Structure 1
């Protein structure tokens, strides 16, 4: 019989404001981060994205490890005699690993900002992110074995004589 979950404090029921865009406490005009539109917004988004990638490279060892994996495998995606869809799958799964790792790192940073003390819900959130990265790596590995594997086996047999 499964062990019952410990009781968690219940939150008050969610109530939507009459208008989703504006409530008594908040309007989009109050948010200085929402003032940019068009090309200015795109420019600032690009700067923020590059900043996020820079933080990931400088501060996240797991991201650096996965980036090394991408640097090693990406050229092989172009050297393998595969069709365009297979090449997109090989490269796409590498990008999925990086994307999921960035999302995992953002969850960890948000949890750490809230509190550095150990808490079961913080652990659970971080474990979910870690599991997501693991599943992305399994997807990537399976895709590479299925698509590149037969070509590698053929090359090894040819070299072995």
Structure 2
């Protein structure tokens, strides 16, 4: 007979608070080393930061840009997770595996597309003022 307070699965030793930061950095490092698109997104983000600094954008504009950048980076990492889990589960083609991978990649694409829109809304008035004095 099963005891009421006995766990069903064996307990897994949890990482210490600071060790969890190390593991998180390992995940970020892995994605940076292995995912070309993450490096492309980081390069684009660096360009956005440089242009934003040169144009003297406001604090609210910075907050909007940093938020969409974080969204793109986070979704790129979640896309890597989805791909790794599907690859771990099966080496064979499966329609649902394709759906999982394509949907995760689509989430990254949508976030990147809308982040470009946010960038245009923020940068275009500054660039027009800088170029034409409007």
TM above 0.5, yes or no, is yes
Mapping 1:98-113, distance limit 5 Å = 98-113=73-88
Scaled by the length of structure 1, the TM-score of the pair is 0.73
Match of 2:72 among 92, 97, 101: 97
Say if 2:112 is the partner of 1:137: yes
Q: Which has the higher relative contact order, 1 or 2, with Cα contacts under 8 A spaced 6 or more apart?
A: 2
Match of residue 85 from structure 1: 60
**Alpha-carbon offset, residue 96 of structure 1:** 1.1
Scaled by the length of structure 2, the TM-score of the pair is 0.87
- In structure 2, C-alpha distance between the alignment counterparts of 1:141 and 1:111, rounded to whole Å: 29
Say if 2:25 is the partner of 1:50: yes
Q: Is the 8 A contact 1:104 1:133 kept in 2?
A: yes
Note the residue ranges of structure 2 that are not aligned, 5 or more in a row.
none
Mapping 1:31-46, distance limit 5 Å = 31-32=12-13, 34=14, 36=15, 41-46=16-21
- In structure 2, C-alpha distance between the alignment counterparts of 1:92 and 1:122, rounded to whole Å: 30
Match of residue 7 from structure 1: none
- In structure 1, C-alpha distance between the alignment counterparts of 2:86 and 2:75, rounded to whole Å: 17
Q: Per-residue displacement from partner, 1:77-132 (whole Å, max 9, x unpaired)?
A: 23323321111101221121111100111111111111121110000001110111
Q: Per-residue displacement from partner, 1:30-58 (whole Å, max 9, x unpaired)?
A: 112x2x4xxxx221111011111111111
The count of corresponding residues between Structure 1 and Structure 2 is 130
Larger proportion of helix: 2
Say if 2:100 is the partner of 1:117: no
Match of 2:41 among 61, 66, 90: 66
